[in-house]
């Protein structure tokens, strides 16, 4: 793993990977969107609005996976002082916050036609909203210090604290929801999903994951460039 | 006296001599709760219904007020460096400072809460549960807040940042704290709420000093 800690090795490796990653992402997006918007059947109850699912569900998946990624990268950064893990965690967080926002907004857009309301204090929606605030707190903390390295370290501790808390928050929101809210919403998705819908969903999930990897690589590369410029400026100022 | 109690005693003495901090927290707590009837209207039934939630949410905000200074003051005058270098483990330092903070804010909130519950016309069955739930819940708030305070040491615009970090993590305490009072009022079982509040406290008592000490070590490097 320490071989990958060398930023120059990372830059060379990702320069090779990036075009292929972008190509695969584009292909998955084209195929996924074609199947999702054109080929897959409308829902017998919800009609065409079910197609929001092909954006909503993958982004919700990504919102959670990216937070796990941030926490894992933070743990690596704290335990092994891995110089790239810090950058990866910092670079991934805004992408994850974006996915969370997309999941929340598409959820509201989907809720309006199928439940008749933009927002309900459903357990899943509420814990998604809390996750969004956790992302915002992380991003704010990382950028709150004059020294970026100090920010990254504080952020790493916070990401791990948040990661321990996510299951507790999820559990308590579930509990709160069963106490407070009458069961007014019967969720769809109880019957097994048909393959004509599952295939585009998986393709879209792959496209989202590929998009995350591509943008992450780009962001880490620009972070490395930013650190190099900073180091050069400091040398210049001292010299 | 050992070093742990010395730190607690020092922080208590500082808080007593600078009394304004603690009184401000209680004043904020009382004033904010008093604003609710003015905003929602004087209907006693509505106030009784939202009372437990209002008191808990306001207690969360009030307990956060003085957190910003918890480590920042020591950081600015150099005490924090000595505490980090000292022979007492940093985890114990975080615990001692959290204990002193709780004694000077959390305890006062617990004393003020029943009076506010009266003002909000909360039903009498809930009073005991409110005090007990706050006894179990406010130490968790202080401990979680201490992690946030340790993380924001030396940060720009620490106060607003601290609330963004800490408030999402307060959600479980809020839910079960209000749940206990609501259960007491409606005559349902309170025990599970208290057990979970106790579990949250036991968990934060172990994990928060670890995370707080890790954050402080990054701060003084």
Interfacial A residues in 196-225 facing B (CB < 8 Å): none
pLDDT value at position A3? 64
B109, B112, B116, B118 alpha-carbon torsion, rounded to 10°: 140
Does residue B204 contact residue B144 with C-beta atoms inside 8 Å?
Answer: yes
Burial zone of B221 (CB within 10 Å; 0-12 exposed, 13-18 middle, 19+ buried): exposed
Q: Is the Cα dihedral B66, B209, B161, B153 positive or negative?
A: positive
Find the helix packing angle between B191-220 and A148-180, rounded to 10°. Answer: 170
At residue A1 the predicted structure's pLDDT band, cuts being 50, 70 and 90, is: low
**Angle between the N-to-C axes of helices B44-65 and B125-151, in degrees from 0 to 180, rounded to the nearest 10:** 30
Q: State the pLDDT at residue B87.
A: 84
- The residue in chain B having the minimum alpha-carbon distance to the alpha carbon of residue A162 is B169
What is residue A49's DSSP assignment?
G
> Is the C-alpha dihedral spanning B36, B40, B46, B49 positive or negative?
negative
Candidates B146, B173, B7; CA nearest to A161 is: B146
Question: Residue A170 and residue A123: Cα distance in Å, rounded?
Answer: 8
Question: Are A213 and A21 within 8 A, CB to CB?
Answer: yes
pLDDT score of A2: 63
End-to-end Cα distance, chain B: 29
pLDDT at residue number A98: 95
Instruction: Give per-residue pLDDT as tens, A191-217.
Output: 566 777 788 888 899 999 999 999 999
User: Residue B16 forms beta bridges with which residues?
Assistant: none
- Which residues of chain B register pLDDT less than 70? 1
CB atoms under 10 Å from CB of A95, counted, come to 21
The sign of the dihedral angle between the CA atoms of A170, A173, A177, A178 is positive
Asked if B205 and B144 count as a contact pair (C-beta separation under 8 A), the reply is: no
Contacts of A180 in chain B (CB under 8 A): none
Nearest to A141 among B165, B179, B182 (CB): B165
Which residues in chain A are contacts of B169 at CB distance < 8 A?
161-162, 165, 169
Q: Is A79 on the interface with B (CB under 8 A)?
A: no
Across A216-225, average pLDDT:
91
Beta bridge partners of A47: A43
Residue A185: which pLDDT band, with cuts at 50, 70 and 90?
A: very low
CA pseudo-torsion sign B38, B44, B50, B56? positive
- Phi and psi at A145, nearest 5°, equal -115, 150
Average pLDDT over residues A213-231: 90
Q: Are B15 and B104 in contact (CB under 8 A)?
A: yes
Q: pLDDT at residue A13 above 90? A: no
Residue A88 has pLDDT above 70, yes or no: yes
Segment A70-86, tens digit of pLDDT: 999 999 988 888 888 88
Angstrom distance (rounded) from CA B176 to CA A176: 8
Q: Where are the domains of chain A?
A: 48-181+195-238
A-chain residues near B152 (CB < 8 A) = 141, 144, 154
From chain A, the residues in CB contact with B147 under 8 A are: 157, 161
Please tell me the predicted confidence (pLDDT) of residue A180: 61
pLDDT for B63: 87
Per-residue pLDDT at A186: 47
Residue A184's pLDDT is 46
Task: Tell me whether A61 touches chain B (CB under 8 Å).
Answer: no
Q: Would you list the domain boundaries of chain B?
A: 3-220
- Per residue in A16-58, pLDDT tens? 888 999 999 999 989 888 888 877 777 766 777 778 888 888 9
Whether A75 has its CB under 8 Å from any CB of chain B: the answer is no
Mean of all residue pLDDT scores within chain A: 84
Q: Give the pLDDT of residue A183.
A: 44
Substitution target in A138, A161, A168, A181 with the highest count of B β-carbons within 10 Å is A161
* Cα B61 to Cα B40: distance, rounded to the nearest angstrom: 19
Is residue A78 within 8 angstroms of chain B, CB to CB? yes
* Residue range A100-123, pLDDT digits in tens: 999 999 888 888 887 778 887 777
What is the rounded CA–CA span in Å between residue B7 and residue B193? 33
Looking at this predicted complex, what is its ipTM? 0.87
Nearest to B164 among A140, A153, A176 (CB): A140
DSSP secondary structure of A200-231:
HHHHHHHHHHHHHHHHHHHHHHHHHHHHHHHH
How far apart (Å, rounded) are the C-alpha atoms in residues B49 and B52? 8
Contacts of B165 (CB under 8 A, 6+ apart): A137, A140, A141, A158, B148, B151, B152
Q: What is the pLDDT of residue B134?
A: 92
Return left, alpha or beta for B187; rule: phi > 0 is left, psi -120 to 50 is alpha, else beta.
left
């Amino acid at each position: 793993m320490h071989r990958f800690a060398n930023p120059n090795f990372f830059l060379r490796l990702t320069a090779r990977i990036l075009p292929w990653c972008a190509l695969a992402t584009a292909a998955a997006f084209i195929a996924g969107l074609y199947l999702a918007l054109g080929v897959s059947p409308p829902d017998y109850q919800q009609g065409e609005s079910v197609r929001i699912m092909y954006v909503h569900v993958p982004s919700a998946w990504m919102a959670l996976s990216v937070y796990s990624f941030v926490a894992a990268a933070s743990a690596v950064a704290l335990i092994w002082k891995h110089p790239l893990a810090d950058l990866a965690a910092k670079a991934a967080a805004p992408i994850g916050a974006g996915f969370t926002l997309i999941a929340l907004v598409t959820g509201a857009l989907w809720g309006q036609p199928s439940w008749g309301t933009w927002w309900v204090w459903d357990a899943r929606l509420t814990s998604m909203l809390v996750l969004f605030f956790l992302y915002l707190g992380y991003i704010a903390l990382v950028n709150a210090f004059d020294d970026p390295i100090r920010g990254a370290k504080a952020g790493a501790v916070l990401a791990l604290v948040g990661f321990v808390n996510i299951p507790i928050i999820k559990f308590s929101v579930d509990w709160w929801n069963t106490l407070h809210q009458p069961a007014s919403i019967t969720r769809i998705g109880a019957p097994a999903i048909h393959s004509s819908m599952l295939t585009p969903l998986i393709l879209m999930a792959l496209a989202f994951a590929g998009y995350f990897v591509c943008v992450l690589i780009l962001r880490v590369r620009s972070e490395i460039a930013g650190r190099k410029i900073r180091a050069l400026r400091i040398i210049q100022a001292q010299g | 006296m050992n070093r742990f109690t010395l730190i607690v005693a020092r922080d208590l003495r500082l808080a007593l001599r600078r009394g304004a901090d603690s009184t401000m927290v209680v004043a904020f707590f009382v004033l904010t709760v008093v604003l609710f009837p003015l905003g929602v209207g004087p209907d006693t039934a509505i106030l009784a219904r939202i009372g437990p939630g209002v008191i808990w949410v306001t207690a969360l905000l009030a307990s956060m007020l003085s957190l910003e200074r918890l480590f920042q003051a020591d950081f600015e005058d150099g005490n924090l460096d000595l505490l980090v270098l000292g022979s007492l483990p940093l985890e114990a330092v975080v615990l001692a400072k959290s204990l002193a903070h709780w004694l000077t804010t959390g305890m006062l909130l617990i004393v003020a809460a029943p009076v506010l519950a009266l003002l909000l016309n909360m039903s009498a069955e809930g009073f005991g549960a409110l005090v007990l739930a706050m006894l179990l819940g406010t130490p968790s708030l202080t401990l979680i807040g201490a992690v946030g305070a340790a993380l924001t040491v030396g940060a720009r615009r620490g106060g607003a940042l601290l609330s963004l970090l800490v408030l999402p993590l307060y959600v479980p305490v809020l839910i079960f704290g209000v749940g206990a009072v609501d259960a007491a009022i409606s005559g349902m079982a309170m025990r599970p709420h208290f057990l979970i509040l106790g579990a949250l406290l036991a968990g934060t008592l172990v994990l928060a000093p670890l995370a707080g000490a890790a954050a402080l070590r990054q701060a003084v490097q």
